[in-house]
Amino acid sequence: MPSRPAKELQTFPNPSPQRDYRIHMEIPEFSCLCPMTGQPDFATLLLDYVPDRICVELKSLKLYVWSFRDQGAFHEAVTNRMLDDLARATRPRYMRLEARFNVRGGIFTTVIAEHRKRGWRPSVPVTLDATPAGKPRRGA
């Protein structure tokens, strides 16, 4: 039986819940309808999150994104709704959804929405020296 769009997001246990790590997804085929004209709007979605106990399953995410194809939605509303749904399903430590909509009427629109688990603070990033051992840095 062929796949169908679905609003239900499936999850699975985080294989490394003891560690903060980032999951990055690029979803280049998002589409919905302009609520004013009914014309299609297209966007690339960039989803980044630090999972807590559960992660989103990719096929269900694909079907979820597909479920917006025939729905009218303002860019701001659909981006925030998707973030709310994803955060509710996965309860991440941190999640950021960036929706980069294609040009419409000469205007590119990017909407960015974020969610943070109460009390979560990101780890301080470690910066490693990229200079091979034993070689002096330029200008040294």
- How does residue 59 score in pLDDT terms, banded at 50, 70 and 90? very high
Catalytic choice (34, 48, 52, 85) = 34
Q: How many domains, the chain?
A: 1
Cα torsion angle, 68, 73, 74, 80, sign: negative
Amino acid making up residue 106: G
Nearest alpha carbon to residue 95 among 25, 47, 26, 29: 47
Mean pLDDT of the chain: 92
Average pLDDT over residues 35-56: 96
Asked whether 49 and 16 are in contact (CB, 8 A), the reply is no
Catalytic, 55? Answer no
Of the chain, the percentage scoring pLDDT greater than 90 comes to 80
Is 52 an annotated catalytic residue? no
Average of per-residue pLDDT across 133-140: 62
Residue 77: CATH number of its domain: 3.30.1130.10
Residue 56 lies in a domain: yes
Long-range contacts of 16-19 (CB under 8 A, 24+ apart): 17/51, 17/52, 17/53
Residue 93 DSSP class: S
pLDDT band, very low/low/confident/very high, at 125 (cuts 50, 70, 90):
confident
Range of the domain at 97: 36-116
Catalytic hit among 20, 32, 41, 129:
41
What was the pLDDT predicted at 102? 96
Residues near 54 by beta carbon (within 8 Å), at least 6 away in sequence: 11, 12, 13, 14, 89, 90, 91
For strands 40-50 and 94-104, give the pairing.
antiparallel
Domain assignment of residue 84, yes or no: yes
In a domain, 1, yes or no: no
Residue of 30, 5, 24 whose CA lies nearest to 110: 30
- Domain membership of residue 19 (yes or no) is no
Let me know if residue 137 belongs to a domain. no
Whether 5 is covered by a domain: the verdict is: no
The encoded tokens of residue 3 equal 């796949």
Q: What is the pTM of this model?
A: 0.86
Let me know if residue 128 belongs to a domain: no
Residue 30 counted as domain residue: no
Q: How confident is the model at residue 87 (pLDDT cuts 50, 70, 90)?
A: very high
